[in-house]
Amino acid sequence: MTSSIHPTVRLNKHQQLKGIWNKRTYVIIRLIGEGARGSIYLALLGNRYVALKISQDSSVITAEVNVLKMLKKVQGQPLGPLLLDVDDAYVSQSSKLAFYVMEYIDGVPLGQWIEREGLSWMFPISFQLLSQLNQLHQLGYIYGDLKPDNILIDKRTKHARLIDVGGVTAFNRSIREYTTWYDRGYWKMGDRRAEPTYDLFAYAVCLLNMDPHVKIQKSSERDILKLLNQAKSLKPIHHVLNHAFHGKYQSALEMKKDLEHINAQQMKKPQSNYNTPSPKLNVWPETIGISSIIFIHVALFYYFIL
């Protein structure tokens, strides 16, 4: 359901927000995200950077805080940003708004990371994300608004993190928030009911969009399978993406298992088309030896999996 209140909140650089209840003061640095459900700002609490989400619709804040509290209880790797504070503040003399504060993840969006570091990172990142999605699905929820901009690669740990919980939806409910290009309803490949296959479809589109031969946002093509055939750099995983597009994976772990099998096969091959550098992505310099390529794959695989 879309709120009748427009949730965007304009804050100024260096503006101070003082929590009414917890008395913490946040200094606004800059806007780092904005969507249909609120605005996210980089802010300072003392000398610590944090991410502060604020909305004119208090129900948005309440719903997302409840999701973050639920995710916090999960053991192991965090499924979302850590919740640090929840409060209200006066943004003007007459306007009191709710906000919450999360850890600030200094990272690079998935698309930029792959473009900079190369398609070889697709496998370890996918293993991490599919494990996280599986944990979320085990709780009876889907992520919903899965897209490259909501997947950050932490610069320090090199781990993939999901950063926006605005689209998290309980199973069998209507999707709360989605982005057109990653929505199976847009492609006429299914409905907008919350189930694991919805997330896996969206992640398959994320991977498809990593191929330099395919730019979904610039294409007028409305047949996702035709775009898949254009994804020459992703040929080794075509059948995985095809399965995800058709909703054939019953769980994120099934999709992860197939990608692990393909990755193992790729590492065994002395040379393959997949290892050929893309002119646009410049995955590896032309002078790099095949032995070095194999070493990179092995190192990434063992670093993230073992």
Just list the catalytic residues: 145
Query: Are the C-beta atoms of residues 154 and 161 closer than 8 Å to each other?
Result: yes
Amino acid at 291: S
Q: Please tell me the distance from the alpha carbon of residue 249 to that of residue 252, in angstroms, as a whole number.
A: 7
The answer for 214, left when phi > 0, alpha when psi is -120 to 50, beta otherwise, is: beta
Amino acid at 164: D
Report in angstroms the alpha-carbon separations of 153 from 94, 236, 257: 40, 24, 22
Write 223-228 long-range contacts (CB < 8 A, 24+): 223/187, 224/187, 224/189
Listed in sequence order, the residues at least 6 apart from 295 whose beta carbon sits closer than 8 Å to its beta carbon are: none
